[in-house]
Amino acid sequence: MKIGIISRSDLNNKLFWSGVPSNIYSSLKKNKTTKIVRIDKLNENLRKLFAIKREYLKVFRNIKFDETYNTKVSKNYASQIEKRLKNISNISHLLTFDSSLVSHLKTDIPIILWTDILYSDYYQHYFKKQKISKSSLNDIKSIELNAIKKCKIIFFSSKWALNKAKRKYKKFQKKIKLLEFGPILEEQVQEKKIKQFIIKRNHKKIKLISLSVDWKRKGLEKQIKLTNYLNQKGFKSELTIIGYKPKYNKIKSNIKFLGFIDKNNKFGERKISSELLKSHFHLLFSKAEAYGLALIEASSRGVPNISFYVGGIPHLVRNSKNGRLFKKNEKINKIGDYIISVFKNKSKYRKLAISSYFEYKKRFNNQKIISDFIQLIK
């Protein structure tokens, strides 16, 4: 099986689109039954030109304009891909993560789209309070529908996104399927070592961790309030935040901002893995979230998740399996009291932490996901 992977960015770049294309490319390369051809690093000059319009509308008219899901840009991508395909033979499938790249693509090769949310739903989920350019909305609808028609299979990473797509495109339900994304952290930690790390976790202090880059959307203020509540209740607690870093850190010493850590190098990956392995709970308090890769990465290190019933998160976190979900507007004391009840009972905590790892191993490990992918596209 010879698969061409289409990406406008470098497929080795773990920072693009949360590292999903890079991770799947890397995982498919390791599979002995597949041969991978890169169709990446597309020319972005036209998109960058429309990005000027995006900034103008944002600054002067407070309107959101999308330069990627633009018909002219989409057609330009298609033209580039078609030229590249002329020099490649015997490709059995084309895989992309972005419908704008294949919406206008002319080819007889079966196309597979693998994503976390329809782009039209993405706007409704993340930007429902913002004014969107009418031309962008029209282009998004047109590009999306063209891609849905062209693709042989469309994979969605959660039941939440899958069901939304099936409701919107009832005519194409048979080609819409479920297939999760795996964790971006490549370095595997063996089951025996995970159990050792869980047992060694220091129970003199509750160590919380958050893999979050966005202060507002990821609910970091609420996470800090939760940490303070735990301390007020007499349980010494510390929150480590990886991703976001304020310009001026005037927050208490029990909040550690590690800032951006680059996953493109082994040092960065090991640092994130090391911080997770030392932590008792991972927090993700998103106001909007299509998937939430950080939740899987936490589970892969035996760290239970504390999160909300938002978007695709309930597909990733199962109560008493790999964490606990709360309503988005849940009071801090209720979340805090749950953490205390689990933490102060070592046996109960360790059972949940080990279960978190097995939930990852059973449902989200990359080897299993790639094996499922190959079977589903045959």
Q: Which CATH number do you get for residue 228? A: 3.40.50.2000
Whether residue 199 has pLDDT greater than 80 = yes
Whether residue 124 has pLDDT greater than 90 = no
Q: Are residues 138 and 46 in the same domain?
A: yes
Decide which of 156, 179, 202 is a domain's last residue.
179
39 falls within a domain: yes
Q: Are residues 210 and 175 in the same domain?
A: no
376 falls within a domain: no
Q: Are residues 120 and 224 in the same domain?
A: no
DSSP letter at 43 equals -
Q: Are residues 59 and 129 in the same domain?
A: yes
378 falls within a domain: no
373 falls within a domain: no
44 falls within a domain: yes
Q: Are residues 239 and 264 in the same domain?
A: yes
Query: Strands 237-243, 206-212: parallel, antiparallel or unpaired by DSSP?
Result: parallel
- Predicted local confidence at residue 123, as pLDDT: 87
Decide which of 154, 179, 204 is a domain's last residue.
179
- Predicted local confidence at residue 167, as pLDDT: 97
For 94-120, write each residue's pLDDT tens digit. 999 999 999 999 999 999 999 999 999
Q: How confident is the model at residue 250 (pLDDT cuts 50, 70, 90)?
A: low
240 falls within a domain: yes
Q: Are residues 206 and 135 in the same domain?
A: no
pTM for the full predicted model: 0.94
Q: Are residues 82 and 196 in the same domain?
A: no
Q: Are residues 171 and 222 in the same domain?
A: no
- Predicted local confidence at residue 63, as pLDDT: 95
Q: Are residues 201 and 339 in the same domain?
A: yes
Whether residue 246 has pLDDT greater than 80 = yes
> What range does the domain containing 334 cover?
191-363
Q: How confident is the model at residue 188 (pLDDT cuts 50, 70, 90)?
A: confident
Whether residue 59 has pLDDT greater than 90 = yes
Q: How confident is the model at residue 248 (pLDDT cuts 50, 70, 90)?
A: low
Q: Are residues 213 and 349 in the same domain?
A: yes
Whether residue 262 has pLDDT greater than 70 = yes
* Contacts within 8 Å (CB) and 24+ apart, 263-268: 263/14, 263/15, 263/19, 263/184, 263/185, 264/12, 264/13, 264/14, 264/15, 266/187
Q: Specify the number of domains making up the chain.
A: 2
Whether residue 314 has pLDDT greater than 80 = yes
- What is the spatial order of strands in the sheet that 2-6 belongs to? 35-39, 2-6, 93-96, 111-115, 153-156, 176-178
* CB 122, CB 346: distance < 8 Å: no
Of 264, 184, 263, give the one whose Cα is nearest residue 24: 184
Q: Are residues 32 and 153 in the same domain?
A: yes
Q: Are residues 29 and 120 in the same domain?
A: yes
Distance CA 101, CA 293 (A): 23
368 falls within a domain: no
- Predicted local confidence at residue 251, as pLDDT: 62
- Predicted local confidence at residue 133, as pLDDT: 94
Across the chain, what does the average pLDDT equal? 95
* CB 289, CB 206: distance < 8 Å: no
369 falls within a domain: no
Decide which of 145, 179, 213 is a domain's last residue.
179
Whether residue 252 has pLDDT greater than 90 = no
